[in-house]
Amino acid sequence: MFSRRILLTSVSALAALALTLPTTTWAKEPIPVVATFSILGDMVERIGGEHIAVTTLVGPDEDAHVYQPTPQAARAVAEADLMFVNGLDFEGWLERLAQAAAFDGALVVATDGIEALTFDEHGDEQDDHDEHKDDHDDHEDKDHKDDYDKHEGEHDDHAGHDHGAFDPHAWQSLTHAVTYVDNITAGLAKADPENAADYYANRATYVAEIEALNVDVTAIMAGLPEEKRTVITSHDAFGYFAHAYGFNFEAPQGLSTESEVSAADVAELIEQIRKEGISAVFIEAIADNRLLKQIANETDATIGGTLYSDGLSNAEGPASTYLDMMRHNAETLSKALSN
């Protein structure tokens, strides 16, 4: 008797719970979305908040250039209502993955509307309003172009890796980040108009933070003297940062961490470091930095620290969000270069 009453009570309690749950949690299921890499995933989460469930394909400290989609990735893409991508040929593996997963959701290209930096025939990054063009031309190479063309040929061999002529790393400009956020917001609002007001409210908060950080980073970078403004990193990921804050970035590797390095380019870089008295080189969290360390060894340059180029750090690291990443990079550069 006793136990039966308890059983009845608990059953009815459960039934009551089951009845109340769907009505008290008013929200529908979070929308399944995919973001291709960690930086973009962080931005998407800031805008989508509780209304979405984000799967990030290329996680923190991982390299999107050489990413190999997993079966879990294909499943997430197959189930996603929206997929957020960088575009500008950053995700060379995307098309094949989307096809394999029969993705039929909406595709949001975060760089839509951004005037991308291109590579001219010397391999230099530039656009029409490049005030630093002259500096570039002064101490820039003649050989990068050959190298770049060689790689174009090689790309045919491994299908899906086509880096195109545009620099995809547009998130390295806080100004462009606002365009990323606008595209993300518009994509979410279109897919889920019911919650559009929330997305736009999140956008307003986030954009205010991005703009405030841009003021800080501009001030940090402006504090460095002109002759300290050449920065050596592993691959060419900081063109937009350079452009935004008046720096000159050089890298033994090209636009992708996949690019092979020519001995001539390395020799030239070493020559430049010696000639210009460049005091520090910077390793990248995602890249193979052996070559860079070798370059530092052969010159008087020290390793100035770690920059986050194409991916966030893990939660314990110094760059676990996009905003932390941009601040960390600016502070790391400033600290090392002002010595």
Residues of this chain that interact with Zn ion (CB under 5 A) are 237, 310
CB distance 285 to 311 below 8 Å:
yes
CB of 309 to Zn ion, least distance (A): 6
CB of 76 to Zn ion, least distance (A): 23
Distance CA 219, CA 224 (A): 9
Q: Of 84 and 199, which CB lies nearer to Zn ion in the complex structure?
A: 84
Q: Using CB atoms within 10 A of its CB, is residue 198 exposed (0-12), middle (13-18) or buried (19+)?
A: middle
CB of 26 to Zn ion, least distance (A): 42
**Among 213, 217, 246, CA closest to 231:** 246
CB of 226 to Zn ion, least distance (A): 27
CB of 11 to Zn ion, least distance (A): 58
Q: Of 92 and 187, which CB lies nearer to Zn ion in the complex structure?
A: 92
Q: Of 62 and 192, which CB lies nearer to Zn ion in the complex structure?
A: 62
Distance CA 339, CA 337 (A): 5
Q: Of 51 and 163, which CB lies nearer to Zn ion in the complex structure?
A: 163
Distance CA 41, CA 209 (A): 17
Q: Of 105 and 311, which CB lies nearer to Zn ion in the complex structure?
A: 311
From residue 318, how far is each of 111, 212, 280, 308, 329 by CA, in Å? 25, 19, 20, 9, 10
